[in-house]
Structure 1
Amino acid sequence: MIARFNRRRAGRSAALALSLLLSTSPLLGLPASAQGIVYDPSNYAQNVLQAARALQQVNNQIQSLANEAQMLVNQAKNLASLPTSTLNQLRSSLARTQALLSQAQKIAFDVQQIETAFTTTYGPASTSASNAALIASARTRWQTSVAAFEDSLKVQAGVVGNIPDNGTTLTTLVTASQSASGALQAAQAGNQLLALQSQQLSDLAAVLAAKGRADALEQARGTAAEAQGQEQYRRFSTRSGYQPGSVTMFHGQ
């Protein structure tokens, strides 16, 4: 019995020693070919550091490519044309105003016509022309002045009619400018705004020209009428058989 107890005790001791050996020797459980590898903490840390640096370089390259891609996108936006064009609307407004100016009656905006009129109808009263001819010239000048005032009012009405269209065009261009995706679109919107301003200035010039024409013709009519009145008075005062005398305006006084 004692011998059996001793054998059991010896077996337990051997098992305990084996377990201690396995726990303190990590290479015992490896194959024979791997038991010669030696772990170097310094070398391991250096390898990890190199791997981290390589990963950082890759991340930097990726970020650089992303920046270049964004730059290309921005360049494409800057080169994109403005999808809105108001050129046709501006041309239509200008064409309407020019059409009204071209409808000028009698003496139009023509240098040759003006020169001819001011040497004939608006010239000095002829001493050899008949009274009927003088009266006809006065009537022609009056009709010309009336026609010029009518033309001026038509031009003014046409320019006023362009105001709603210009307001719509202005709203479209401002909206396009505010929503421009790049420099080119913003510049094109600004250029179209300048074109709208030029069209409005053209309308203003047309109004001033039409009104100036009417005023000038009316002033010329007044001057010609004064000259004609002097000629008619001369004829009346030098007519044979005329005897000046006193006139009684109020009988009995």
Structure 2
Amino acid sequence: MKSLPLRRAMMAGVLAVSAVTPMFIAAPAYAQFGGIVYDPSNYAQNVLTAARSLQQINNQIQQIQNQATSLLNEARNLASLPFSSLATLQQQVQRTQQLLGQAQRIAYDVENIQQAFNSRYTGTALTGDHAQMVANANARWEDSVGAFEDALKVQAGAVGNIEGARTSMDSLVTASQSATGALQAAQAGNQLLALQSQQLADLTATVAAQGRAQALESARQAAEEAEGRERFRRFMGN
């Protein structure tokens, strides 16, 4: 009889535990601290979203840096060369042109050459009277001497331009090697080509002046031979 109350008490305890256990099992995965509800799954989702947002910001920063680098490279490529030898090259070409323009007696002109040859080298210039022959011979001699003098002047001018060409070449090569962009390198290359063109112009002028002198000397010799034959014909006729 004494064990009956004990059994009832034990049975009541088992029923109480059975009733409380489902409450712990079915409890949700959050806790409440001082009125703040903490949800682990929501917190993890927020952390993941923040990480993704930070990655997007980093990607945007990298894109901006790449664009800034590209703009800097474009600015360097568009920068002009700070050195220009154009004025010096133009002055050298002008000096050579002035020397050519100072040609004595027979200039570098087709009409002038034609008139000079008609009056001193061909035709009636070789069949006039004695005084005319002597005058034409002297004129032809002066043509040859003047042409050789002109050739020497042009050669001296071309030689004088060599030092200026050397200085310009050194400056252009230095500027080309230190070029920071494509435009500066291209401009340095163009100026080097201009320098080469100026040197070719000097060479052309020198060859032209020398050729003019030789041509006039050859023409003088040919005229003297023709004039000599005319004098001999007159002598034999007399």
* Residue 98 (1) aligns with residue 97 (2): yes
1:43 Cα deviation from its structure 2 partner: 4.2
Partner SS, residue 123 of structure 2: coil
Return the TM-score normalized by structure 2. 0.81
1:64 Cα deviation from its structure 2 partner: 0.8
Query: Could you tell me which residue of structure 2 aligns to residue 4 of structure 1?
Result: none
**C-alpha separation in 2, matches of 1:126 and 1:159:** 36
1:214-235 deviation line (CA, Å, top 9, x unaligned):
1110111011000000011111
Structure 1, unmatched stretches of 5+, are: 1-31, 240-253
Backbone CA RMSD of aligned residues: 1.9
Quick one: percent identity of the two aligned structures? 58
The structure 1 segments of at least 4 consecutive aligned residues displaced by more than 6 Å after TM superposition are none
Query: Could you tell me which residue of structure 2 aligns to residue 181 of structure 1?
Result: 180
1:38 Cα deviation from its structure 2 partner: 4.7
1:124 Cα deviation from its structure 2 partner: 3.2
Partner SS, residue 105 of structure 2: coil
Partner SS, residue 120 of structure 1: helix
Instruction: State the number of aligned residues.
Output: 207
1:60 Cα deviation from its structure 2 partner: 0.9
Q: Which has the higher helix share?
A: 2
1:48 Cα deviation from its structure 2 partner: 2.7
The aligned amino acid for 1:117 is: A
1:204 Cα deviation from its structure 2 partner: 1.2
* Residue 220 (1) aligns with residue 238 (2): no
Query: Could you tell me which residue of structure 2 aligns to residue 134 of structure 1?
Result: 133
**C-alpha separation in 1, matches of 2:159 and 2:65:** 54
Partner SS, residue 73 of structure 1: helix
1:51 Cα deviation from its structure 2 partner: 2.1
Residues 1:38 and 1:209: Cα distance change in structure 2 (over 3 Å): closer
Query: Could you tell me which residue of structure 1 aligns to residue 150 of structure 2?
Result: 151
Contact 2:148 2:210 in 1 (8 A): yes
**Equivalence map 1:226-241=2 (5 Å):** 226-239=225-238
Return the TM-score normalized by structure 1. 0.76
1:138 Cα deviation from its structure 2 partner: 1.0
1:168-192 deviation line (CA, Å, top 9, x unaligned):
1111111111211212112211211
Query: Could you tell me which residue of structure 2 aligns to residue 56 of structure 1?
Result: 55
Contact 2:119 2:125 in 1 (8 A): no
**C-alpha separation in 1, matches of 2:191 and 2:89:** 9
Residues 1:142 and 1:64: Cα distance change in structure 2 (over 3 Å): same
* Residue 34 (1) aligns with residue 73 (2): no
1:116-145 deviation line (CA, Å, top 9, x unaligned):
111110013557622222122111111110
**C-alpha separation in 2, matches of 1:98 and 1:38:** 95
